[in-house]
A and B are shown apart, each in its own frame.
Chain A
Amino acid sequence: NAGVTQTPKFQVLKTGQSMTLQCAQDMNHEYMSWYRQDPGMGLRLIHYSVGAGITDQGEVPNGYNVSRSTTEDFPLRLLSAAPSQTSVYFCASSKGITSGTGGFFGQGTRLTVV
């Protein structure tokens, strides 16, 4: 049981490049989400999904795209990387929207845009 797996762990991009951050979970969780972590700002929600085929925006969605074709996978796409997107990205999953069990987080992807 791997939990939530994120790849890659580290990435350096040039401004304007695109890339996809991968996230997979093997717990059959309905709810998956992406956060970015910036110094002094905690974690902020980028996008989330309540099930396959359903996604919605969070607090800071601009510049990011998501899709959810399967329950297991929830990739995050950076369309045209900008230095402001330098951050640590975390994927999380949980059993349901109103779950009181908390979320399971991946190890994070540290992204640097130069």
Chain B
Amino acid sequence: GDSVTQMEGPVTLSEEAFLTINCTYTATGYPSLFWYVQYPGEGLQLLLKATKADDKGSNKGFEATYRKETTSFHLEKGSVQVSDSAVYFCAHYTGNQFYFGTGTSLTVIP
């Protein structure tokens, strides 16, 4: 069935380090792909999205490319900041619902 698998955390990085959070998906259709971010005590906020193959979503220095051939949507950022500490969720939207990964907790230390 439809699902999302993302890299287990927690991830701890030093400020200005490079970030990659892996995400792969299984979908019966042609899904739209998303990354959501959840800051402590808050709801989910849409970080970026891609709706077709080879699209690159980007926002706040984060990027992810829709790779249909590998069914992946890895999140990257070249230089993380302390303010990026949060939980990141990969998701796909197929038919009538979102399918979420389990979330990856990121802590950035000064």
Contact between A42 and B51 (Cβ–Cβ < 8 Å)?
A: no
> Can you report 16 A-B residue pairs in the complex whose CB atoms are below 8 A from each other?
A6-B43, A33-B97, A35-B100, A41-B102, A42-B4, A42-B102, A48-B96, A50-B96, A97-B95, A98-B93, A101-B49, A102-B49, A102-B93, A103-B93, A104-B46, A105-B36
Q: Which residues of B contact A40 (CB under 8 A)?
A: 102
What mask results when residues 1 to 20 of chain B are scored 1 for a CB within 8 Å of chain A, else 0? 00010000000000000000
**How many residues of chain A are within 8 Å of chain B by beta carbon?**
28
A19 interfacial by beta-carbon distance below 8 Å: no
Interface readout for A36-50 with B: 1 if CB under 8 Å, 0 if not?
000011111100101
Chain A 64-114 interface residues, beta-carbon cutoff 8 Å to B: 90, 92, 97-108
B82 within 8 A of A: no
Known: A100-B32, A105-B43, A106-B43. A45 touches B51 (CB 8 A): no
Closest to B3 in A: A42
Interface size on B, residues (CB 8 A): 21
Contact surface of B with A, Cβ cutoff 8 Å:
4, 32, 34, 36, 42-46, 49, 51, 89, 93, 95-98, 100-103
Residues of A within 8 A of B (CB): 4, 6, 33, 35, 40-45, 48, 50, 56, 58, 90, 92, 97-108
